[in-house]
Chain A
Amino acid sequence: MNATLIAALWRQRLTSPIRLVLLGSLMGMPLLAVVFMHGAGLSALGDSQGAVLVLGAGMIGQDVSSGVLQLLFARPVRRPDYVVSRWLGVAIAASAVALVQLGLALALMAARDSLPGAQDVFLYAAGRVIESFGLAAVLALFSSLIPGFGDLALYFLFTLSASVVHWVGQVKQWPWLDRAGSEILASLQPKLDLAQLVHASPMPWFPIVSYASTVTLCLALAIVAVNRKELSYASG
């Protein structure tokens, strides 16, 4: 982990007006739902997918296509450190966005005297943070494979293909295809439903192991992909 690289990523993201506008809308819309929908609970805030995609798009690919990576690796920065720092930078930023949004939603709910229980709030907040770290790892892998913002295209292409597989499995009533589609979809958006994990008996290990497996595999493959890149001033 390299704190300078993480801070540089945040500076880069905070100076992009498009990303800020998108983030503002992603944060604001669910808050409007909390304001105007009577009885809207924490689920009205949605998930972290939008924030991670906005903050993480091109997290490595943009540096490859702009030539920053050549300059960066001329300094004493190791490639695995670079990948992990980009992943952490995006995940921490998306988690912060989720927690700020949650704080605002709780303030609105408190004003209406409809605050959810402390355990529910904690499980929801932890779930959003876990989701941010999971999806950021997937995006890091895609971003290491393709320059520019191609990671977004790759992410949507994979999601669409997995949805089609899942749908065909359901329509044809082929459980193996249905399961394959849902597993790929779950791997593309790794998250944990902590409320369910807490209430289930015995505690299911499959979702926890799946999440950890997806995150480690994505990071390992992203590092391998960045290691394999031949960077020179002439390569672009």
Chain B
Amino acid sequence: MPPAEPRAGDSTRRSPTVLLIAALVLLAARVATGLYEERHPPSLPDLVRWRPIDAAVAEARQTRKPLLYDFTADWCAPCQTMKRDLFADREAAARIERMFVPVRVLDRRQEEGRNPAEVDSLQRRFHIESFPTLVVVPAAGGDSTVLVGYQGRQAALQQLAEAQVRSMMPLRFRPRAGSAPPR
């Protein structure tokens, strides 16, 4: 009967020493780069062309595209994740540009003590309590869709696509709830 295991000198075992050393070195480098980049995050260009608040409503009426308000703040970590992950992604940014008239509404209370009047007014109108919050407002008026938080690029794009489809439906087919038409 043949032996189940080869003889000691003929062992099939080889210790992966080089691979283990490489893994440990890379693990140390991972911790180091993680700590460094947390303090010095690389900047990613925002590929969405954000419109000024006052000009956006007119553009939405003219192009018949829904408005997309991005309620955000510089100190908010999930907002920065969303910025890097979604708005800096070329394909996602192109889809957002195709579907919406995008408007960034930046909260400055923590930095400057107060917000510009139009930012305060939009935050009150959509009852914004946390960041990030995306609000899709149909160009023809009717209910807006509010998306609170950020659950990843795929989920966000899917929710935005659904909101865009809802906002393009004729008013009588849309469920009634919530908020006002764009002013």
A residues touching B (Cβ–Cβ < 8 Å)?
A: 39, 41-43, 46, 70, 73-74, 76-80, 116, 120, 175, 193, 195-196, 199-206, 209-210, 212-213, 216-217, 219-220, 223-224, 227, 231-234
A200, B29: Cβ atoms closer than 8 Å: no
B residues touching A (Cβ–Cβ < 8 Å)?
A: 2-6, 12-16, 19-20, 22-23, 26-27, 29-30, 33-34, 36-37, 42-45, 47, 77, 84-85, 88-92, 94-95, 98, 153-154, 157
B42, A80: Cβ atoms closer than 8 Å: no
Instruction: Given A220-B20, A232-B4, output 8 extra A-B contacts at Cβ < 8 Å.
Output: A204-B37, A206-B34, A206-B36, A213-B26, A217-B27, A231-B5, A233-B4, A234-B4
Q: Which one of A78, A193, A209 has the highest number of Cβ atoms from chain B below 10 Å of its Cβ?
A: A209
Nearest A residue to B90 via CB reads A195
C-alpha spacing A115/B98, complex, angstroms: 16
Q: Which residues does chain A contribute within 8 Å of B84, judged by CB atoms?
A: 196
**Closest CB in chain A relative to B75 CB, distance in Å:** 12
B-side interface mostly = helix
B95, A200: Cβ atoms closer than 8 Å: no
C-alpha spacing A199/B30, complex, angstroms: 21
| With A70-B4, A220-B16, A220-B19 as contacts: A196 and B89 at CB distance below 8 Å | yes
A199, B90: Cβ atoms closer than 8 Å: yes
**Closest CB in chain B relative to A220 CB, distance in Å:** 4
C-alpha spacing A46/B85, complex, angstroms: 15
B33, A39: Cβ atoms closer than 8 Å: no
Nearest A residue to B94 via CB reads A41
A216, B19: Cβ atoms closer than 8 Å: yes
Which listed residue (B2, B16, B33, B44) contacts A224, Cβ 8 A? B16
B6, A120: Cβ atoms closer than 8 Å: no
Which listed residue (B23, B88, B98, B153) contacts A199, Cβ 8 A? B88
Which listed residue (A74, A77, A204, A217) contacts B26, Cβ 8 A? A217
